[in-house]
């Protein structure tokens, strides 16, 4: 199953503003941009005092070209608004309706459209229109041209309001938002397209099997703050499904270190091939990335992560307090060998043999929990303070052989027993159809 191409993308976008998507690259040098002067050429025009005109005929007052199309209902519905603006400002501005559609299509639409029958604005229709000088995909689009024929803005229709037009007439400039058309390719994940343009993410997650032909190392990060604004991130470059579940449930358990949470505390009750991810998880590595806006609490982010993993496996997971075999560390305080020097780092004398000289107890515990091969949870019931400096030599291989381990630890006042303790365990079951 794992060797098949499995691609799972969990993408939930909750954006704080409008998002964009990438379009194919094309040569835009032949089109006009803001700051360019529109060429002077002759074209056919209707609803105007003459049947032909040139752009120079409108010099001396601003012009708004309302680019529209016969299949754009919002364009047509917006025409009465543009007509009202023309009436309000009179001869101080000229608004012109421009479409690249053929005159025959416009005429056919006019027969059944009351708006086109009644609107009192000039029309420029067909191939030979000012629209040919502008690169656009979506309409309506408005071209704001000043009294000298210079393009001052390329904007969405909603920017055409009384305040913006008044400023444009009086000052010859405008601060309306620039319209940018980006064509979405739905054949690929949307984030590939719009992330380069808009980096404010509400929630995004990505899960896919790691491809064996690539080597990327192992990366595990949590609560990373991005350069693009505050956000929470959980990112893993090579991780198993059990370890992802551990990450997602750890904040809700008494264990605070994922390396101290053994796989024995994951109880898989699933049926079928999906159990493979838990039975031989080391051979099934995944890449996982989760980004969430910092306004979302960390615990909510981890609950979201749990839901995404359940969705991928068609499973239902929960925490359950279960009696679990544990390696319990005890201490005879009278025999503890306390260190006297400055706390030193742990020393690995040789493979799996560790020597602690004036090492803090918290570091000794961390080494035991993270490096011993035992599948059991390690529980500290010694009562030793974490900053207590100790001298200790032990072999991590002996944690699988308690008699040998206790013989080694006895001179230091320590012992280990296998006992049941009530622990939070992650239970994963088949999802039930509602």
Higher pLDDT, 205 or 396: 205
Whether residue 379 is predicted with pLDDT greater than 50 in this model: the reply is yes
Task: Decide if pLDDT at 12 tops 70.
Answer: no
CA dihedral 95, 100, 103, 107 (to 10 degrees): -70
Q: Give percent above pLDDT 90 in the chain.
A: 51
Instruction: Check if the beta carbon of residue 231 is closer than 8 Å to that of residue 200.
Output: no
Q: Is the pLDDT of residue 418 over 80?
A: yes
The whole-angstrom separation of Cα 320 and Cα 430 is: 16
Lookup result for tokens 């609950």: 303
pLDDT attached to residue 21:
36
Q: Are 182 and 28 in contact (CB under 8 A)?
A: no
pLDDT of the residue at 343:
44
Return mean pLDDT, the chain: 84
Tokens 């408005």 belong to 142
Measure Cα distances from 23 to 34, 97, 155, 197 in Å.
20, 26, 18, 11
Give which of 185, 407, 427, 201 is closest to 301, Cα–Cα. 201
| Adjacency order of strands within the sheet including 347-350 | 347-350, 353-360, 389-395
Nearest to 147 by CA among 96, 97, 94: 94
- 233 has which bridge partners? 291
Q: Mean pLDDT, to the nearest integer, of 124-143?
A: 95
Distance linking the first and last C-alpha atoms of the chain: 27
Question: Does the structure show a pLDDT above 80 at 356?
Answer: no
Span 35-59, average pLDDT: 96
Lowest mean pLDDT among 86-100, 147-161, 187-201, 377-391: 187-201
Question: What does the pLDDT read at residue 295?
Answer: 86
pLDDT tens profile 267-313: 999 988 888 888 776 678 888 999 888 888 889 999 999 999 999 99
More confident residue, 350 or 17: 350
Of 335, 327, 337, nearest to 388 by C-alpha is: 337
Check residue 11 and give its pLDDT.
41
Q: Which residues pair with 256 in a beta bridge?
A: none
At residue 5, the pLDDT reads 34
What tokens does 318 get? Answer: 């929960």
The 10s digit of each residue's pLDDT in 143-181 is 999 999 999 999 999 999 999 999 999 998 888 999 988
Q: Is 148 exposed, middle or buried (0-12, 13-18, 19+ CB in 10 A)?
A: exposed
How confident is the model at residue 8, as a pLDDT? 39
Structure tokens at 67: 């680019």
Query: What is the CB-side half-sphere exposure of residue 205 using CA atoms within 13 A?
Result: 22
Which pLDDT score, from 0 to 100, does residue 407 have?
A: 92
pLDDT, residue 168, reads: 97
Structural domains of the chain in order of their starting residue, each with its CATH number: 42-171 (3.40.30.10), 191-313 (no CATH), 325-427 (no CATH)
Q: How many CB atoms sit inside 10 A of residue 249's CB?
A: 25
Strand segments, DSSP code E, in 246-403 are 266-268, 286-293, 315-331, 347-350, 353-360, 377-380, 389-395
User: Tens of pLDDT along 38-49?
Assistant: 999 999 999 999
Record the tokens describing residue 402, joined without a space: 């308690």
- Residue 201: predicted pLDDT: 83
- Amino acid 17: pLDDT: 34
């Amino acid at each position: 199953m794992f060797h098949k191409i499995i691609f799972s993308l969990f993408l939930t976008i909750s954006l704080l503003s409008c998002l964009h998507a990438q379009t194919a690259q094309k040569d835009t040098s032949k089109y006009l941009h803001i700051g360019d002067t529109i060429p002077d050429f002759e074209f056919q025009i209707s609803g105007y005092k003459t049947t032909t005109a040139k752009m120079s005929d409108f010099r001396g007052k601003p012009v708004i070209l309302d680019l529209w199309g016969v299949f754009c209902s919002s364009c047509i519905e917006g025409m009465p608004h543009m007509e009202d603006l023309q009436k309000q400002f009179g001869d101080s501005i000229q608004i012109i309706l421009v479409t690249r559609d053929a005159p025959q299509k416009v005429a056919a639409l006019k027969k059944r459209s009351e708006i086109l029958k009644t609107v009192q604005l000039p029309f420029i229709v067909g191939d030979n229109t000012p629209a040919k000088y502008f690169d656009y995909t979506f309409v309506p689009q408005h071209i704001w041209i000043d009294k000298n024929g210079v393009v001052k803005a390329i904007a969405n229709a909603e920017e055409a309001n009384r305040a913006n037009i008044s400023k444009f007439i009086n000052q010859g400039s405008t601060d309306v938002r620039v319209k940018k058309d980006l064509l979405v390719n739905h054949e690929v994940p949307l984030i590939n397209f719009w992330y380069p343009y808009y980096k404010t993410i509400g929630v995004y997650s990505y899960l896919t099997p790691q491809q064996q032909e690539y080597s990327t190392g192992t990366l595990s990060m949590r609560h990373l703050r991005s350069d693009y604004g505050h956000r929470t991130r959980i990112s893993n470059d090579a991780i198993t499904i059990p370890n992802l579940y551990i990450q997602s449930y750890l904040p809700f358990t008494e264990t605070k270190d994922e390396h101290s949470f053994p796989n024995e505390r994951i109880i898989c009750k699933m049926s079928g091939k999906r159990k493979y991810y838990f039975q031989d998880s080391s051979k099934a590595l995944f890449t996982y990335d989760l980004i969430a806006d910092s306004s979302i609490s960390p615990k909510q982010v981890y609950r979201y992560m749990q839901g995404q993993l359940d969705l991928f496996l068609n499973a239902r997971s929960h925490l359950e307090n279960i009696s679990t075999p544990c390696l319990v560390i005890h201490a005879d305080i009278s025999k503890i060998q306390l260190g006297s020097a400055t706390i030193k780092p742990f020393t690995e004398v040789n493979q799996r043999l560790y020597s602690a000289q004036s090492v803090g107890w918290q570091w000794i515990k961390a080494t035991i929990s993270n490096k011993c091969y035992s599948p059991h949870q390690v529980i500290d019931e010694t009562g030793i303070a974490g900053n207590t400096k100790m001298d200790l030599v032990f072999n991590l291989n002996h944690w699988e052989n308690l008699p040998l381990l206790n013989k080694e630890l006895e001179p230091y006042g320590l012992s280990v027993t296998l006992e049941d303790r009530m622990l939070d365990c992650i239970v994963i079951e088949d999802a039930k159809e509602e």
